[in-house]
Structure 1
Amino acid sequence: MKLVITGGHHTAALPVIEEIKRNAPRTEVFWIGRKYAVAGDKNYSLEYRDITALNIPFFDLQAGKFYKTVDPLILLKLPVGLIQALYLLVKLKPAAILSFGSYLAVPVVVAGWFLGIPSFTHEQTLTAGYANRLIAIFAKKVLLSWPESARFFPKGKTFITGLPLRAEIFSVLSSVFEVNKALPTVYVTAGKTGSHKINLAVIHALKDLLAVCNIIHQCGANSVFNDYELAVQTYAELQENEVVRGKYCPRRFVLGNEIGEVYAKSTLVISRGGAHTVGELLALEKPCLLIPIPWVSHNEQNINASVLVKSGLGKILNESELTSETLLLNVKAFLENIGDYKVKNSNHSSIIAKNAAHSIYQQISQFLR
């Protein structure tokens, strides 16, 4: 049987792909997604790198993104994406479609509905974006990470699976990040595309930050801003200062087999409020400083981040307040009081269920025989 997987949250899809390989090894998996991280970028997306590394055929899709404001150029991409999706599905002839949300999945699921191909979509967040709300109309079933998000979807279609987490986060499989063991380590990440604003705040405060901690910095691969290159250059200029030497590890990406090492070495994680990062931080009970993206639909990242705040692990720093100075102050305060950030309220077992990937597989398994 053939299965098409699509969507913008590929990290959640990876454990499901592994589950499919274990339980239905004859299934042919195809991926429809985004080859480049952002428009105009020359660097391959992490999604493309991870999926092709698994020898899964990858098909690039040009789809219009949903915003609160109307952009005529984006609107033009909507029918283009639908036509592309129809062509690919007719060509591939999958038995089912598994969506992991986002605007990329909309034309694929709608095209599948026109062709009579059943679709399943997974929602990672407490709320639901425009894309998955639309997808739910055409999907056979909506699979949820959180019971609270059921209210956004048609009754009778929802099923709680939890959030699939990478097995790699629970094991140290590498030894590539050399840090000063006498100091705490801070892991800075803003997802696979990175955040220009967070990156600049770290880079501009780098000398002062490295006086109090090591930093593992996932900058993202973005040829529009070239933040990684700036980070490397800035650190090189500081090398004469013995205080900072050997304490900074800038990377475009932290690879899947490296993430367990990064989390194990990290005292504090600085991140956005993406659903998958929130799930991983909850599962690992990692103290975290969260800087949610302010413009995502339905205030999604703030709502995600609030879960970590309520659990006792996290604190929110609004992006509007983010500067190199406020970042430095928050890191210092966090590290001085790190013992205060531990789980006080742990009632989110559904999202960190380790069998979430298998639950999703069970929902689609009838189409993989």
Structure 2
Amino acid sequence: MSSREDGLVTKVEADFAAILPHCSYSWEESVRAFDDVNDAVDSDLIVVMDRFDHAEVLKEIAAYDNIYPGGHYALKVRRLAGFKTCCETHCAVRGLGGGGGREAEDPHDLDISDPFYASSIAGGTTDEELLEARALLYSEVSESCEGLIHFLAQLQETAVHRGVSLAEEVTENLRVNDLAIGQEGAFARNPSLLRSLAARRQQSKHRGYWLDMDNVERELVAWVEKNDRSLGVMPLMQDIKDSGEYMLFHSITKYHGGKGSVAKRLGWTLEKRVGRGFWHVKENIQRALDPYLDCTEDENGVECTIPTKSSLIEKGRQDLVGAIDRLGGFKTVARDLNLKMRNPGRKALYPDLQDWDAYKQKLELWMLANDERALAEGRMPKMARLFSEGALDLYFATKKYHGGCKKVAEKMGWRRRRS
């Protein structure tokens, strides 16, 4: 961290809270609930993890923008992953490099991934896969937090130049800067939409409410009756989301395994059923993907981009996601159907450790500092220990770049530790 960023320690006060009405975890008593009144007024910046939290927080604080439009409360809410675009020398802030921020091309790029969500969609994961997901999550959060620090440091520099406080500069900047705001910015900058959102604000449910299937069934029945649907037929998730019932949508897709799982538990039928073997036919995959393709036309013809997994899940198409995964994944299906990938190459994690010599040197240095005896005896550390002691780079590189513990131990001439 630079000296410029070190100065933030005395100028920035951070706190954290959780949207607890739909949570029921053992640690929740040590976490305070998000207070829409005090947090909206007292905070200069509210950072959320994903679009679900963003929508829920906006619903809570939209009323205050109607009461006092000059407060710009909704504009305080930003998504953490959106700050990954910031670097030490430039961030899209007023007075440092030009105009306002730019939204991510894919709104899901602003979300911090949720390994538990992914495991529920896939039907469960192994402990090793969960450890890997957590390592990726740690890296993603770290990168985003680093960008957030750069953002605040540059705002502090601008504040000093203008002779105002950091809090004043943050407030003024967020009013003109769409960095990390996503599609929700349409609500935050539109008074009529904010009034509509505030009107739909509901009384908060008690903790654990949305984890109880009886409550989900009650809310689902109410939604079906309100929207003139057939009772006992599971509606499309996109229809629930479009109606503004974000928590019902969120609880079905994230906490209860998706519409198929919920329909089975309730004894409901799905709106659309397909026969066995349907998803093994490439043409059926193509037809199912057609409504979600992003296509452009030029002199060379029409070129279409396959949707992301997260966007299909958001639209309630876990069935299509599962079919694509069984056929080899999105990259394989995109190649077979001659479609482009939206993000054909995710930036590699810890790219320097792809080189064996660099990896070997770092592993030996880590062992020298943490287990000198094992290094002297030539014993490979366990993967779980690398992860638990914070050596996430070595954990990831061992698994992804160098074939796992067994192969690394063989190449090093070491013995592999056994449980």
Q: TM-score, normalised by structure 2?
A: 0.26
Rg comparison, structure with higher value: 2
Which one has the bigger strand percentage? Answer: 1
Which one has the bigger helix percentage? Answer: 2
Q: TM-score, normalised by structure 1?
A: 0.29
Question: Which structure is richer in relative contact order (CA contacts within 8 A, separation 6 or more)?
Answer: 1
